[in-house]
Amino acid sequence: MYSILFIDLSSDDIVVNIPEMPQDRYWVFPICTPYGDNLINIGNLGVSKPGEYLIQYDPDNYGLETENIPDGFAGVIKYPMAYGLVNSRILTDRSEEDVEIVQKLQLGFNVSRTIPRPEPPIAPPLDLTMFTKPEYNDGNISSCHEAVMKVAAALAPYNPPYVTSDRDWVAAELRKAGFNNGTFTQPRGSNLTAAVELAKKTSLAFMDKPGVRQDVGNDWFIVSEGYIGKFDSHYEARYQIATTAYLALDPSESVYPFHEGDLVVEEGKSILFTFPEPPKIKDGGFWSLTVYGPDQDLVPNDMEKYMVGDRSNLTFPDGTPVAKGDHREFQVLLQASGIEPPTNWTAK
């Protein structure tokens, strides 16, 4: 389950509270930039401690410090922008009882207080109502692309690249694109629709470069470290991931295998996924096989079955639970919703 926290360091540093979490449950509190860079993670995989964490503005550095920090804090988070966001995740098995437990745990993630800085504000306060204004809302102007550019122009001055050596040339490119003091004016002779198509082609071509992704077998791939989660200067990769997996986590936290090409379940046909053995995961982690439609959303179905994984009641063909940890083959069936699932598959 997810919960969103927006970060505003325009004038004050903030203190966030991380609650005591059950040892056997996956959770993560990821600190992300507005652009989708996952800079810092607090969570069970990193054996993070509960308590208060100070999120401190530092224009030139980012990271988590747990030693030589002020008394009373479990950690100090250096963050190089005025604004950011957290999309915290807590694992659930989706049962009503477990969902209630997670909802209570979610309440423990909160901003407990702010600490004023002596310096002048670095930005105006973050105003989320800006997204309701006509100039920033694609439902109220003729071009979605123009709305995106205007939002970017409004936020970019206060959220420069975290790679400090990129800041000057990125700012220069944004000026060429029509960004000026928080506003966007489309350059004469430009075509935003054509520019977006070029950006798509450029980013897709970049993702096909050697080393950007790794072939893990049977037409499955993973994006290599440095091109997902935390992108550094790879802006083409960040663009592509943002269109399909905004706020994807760094590979140190999560890996996202994907299948090359579209999987089509033809009428009257099924797809059978064969696992040679249960996926290997870190202690406290989890795995899942999730099906998304062409719109990147979960595929609706009467069974309300969207994924299977280590939280599912999976069994080997002889009925032994996969959770027992045997290193042998098992299968997952994917078929059209109009076909009644075979009895021996439904509960497995």
Query: Tokens standing for 134?
Result: 């006509």
pLDDT value at 340 more than 60: yes
User: What single DSSP character describes residue 298?
Assistant: B
Looking at per-residue pLDDT, the higher value among 324 and 78 belongs to 78
pLDDT value at 24 more than 80: yes
pLDDT value at 21 more than 50: yes
Looking at per-residue pLDDT, the higher value among 144 and 235 belongs to 235
pLDDT value at 73 more than 90: yes
Mean pLDDT of 74-103: 96
Task: Give the model's confidence band at 105: pLDDT under 50 very low, under 70 low, under 90 confident, else very high.
Answer: very high
Mean pLDDT of 138-167: 90
The share of the chain scoring above pLDDT 90, in percent, equals 74
pLDDT recorded at residue 141: 55
Query: Tokens standing for 325?
Result: 């940890």
| Structural domains present in the chain | 2-116 (2.60.40.1610), 128-190 (no CATH), 200-259 (no CATH), 262-348 (no CATH)
pLDDT tens, position by position, 163-190: 999 999 999 999 999 999 999 999 999 9
Mean pLDDT of 122-148: 86
Other beta carbons within 10 Å of 300: 9
List the single range of 63-67, 131-135, 151-155 with lowest mean pLDDT. Answer: 131-135
Q: Does residue 40 contact residue 103 with C-beta atoms inside 8 Å?
A: no
The CA distance from 35 to 50, in Å, is 27
Query: Tokens standing for 143?
Result: 């071009």
pLDDT tens, position by position, 262-307: 788 888 888 999 999 999 898 899 999 998 888 888 988 888 888 9
Q: What single-letter amino acid sits at 348?
A: K
The CA distance from 240 to 17, in Å, is 33
The CA distance from 66 to 42, in Å, is 11
The CA distance from 290 to 306, in Å, is 6
The kind and range of the H/E element at 217 are strand 213-217
| Residue with tokens 């993560």, as numbered in its chain | 28
pLDDT recorded at residue 173: 98
Mean pLDDT of 113-117: 97
The kind and range of the H/E element at 84 are strand 83-90
The CA distance from 253 to 28, in Å, is 8
Mean pLDDT of 182-203: 95
CA distance readout (Å), 323 to 241, 309, 348: 32, 10, 12
Average pLDDT, the chain: 93
Task: Give the model's confidence band at 140: pLDDT under 50 very low, under 70 low, under 90 confident, else very high.
Answer: low
pLDDT recorded at residue 86: 98
The CA distance from 152 to 341, in Å, is 47
pLDDT value at 348 more than 50: no
Task: Give the model's confidence band at 227: pLDDT under 50 very low, under 70 low, under 90 confident, else very high.
Answer: very high
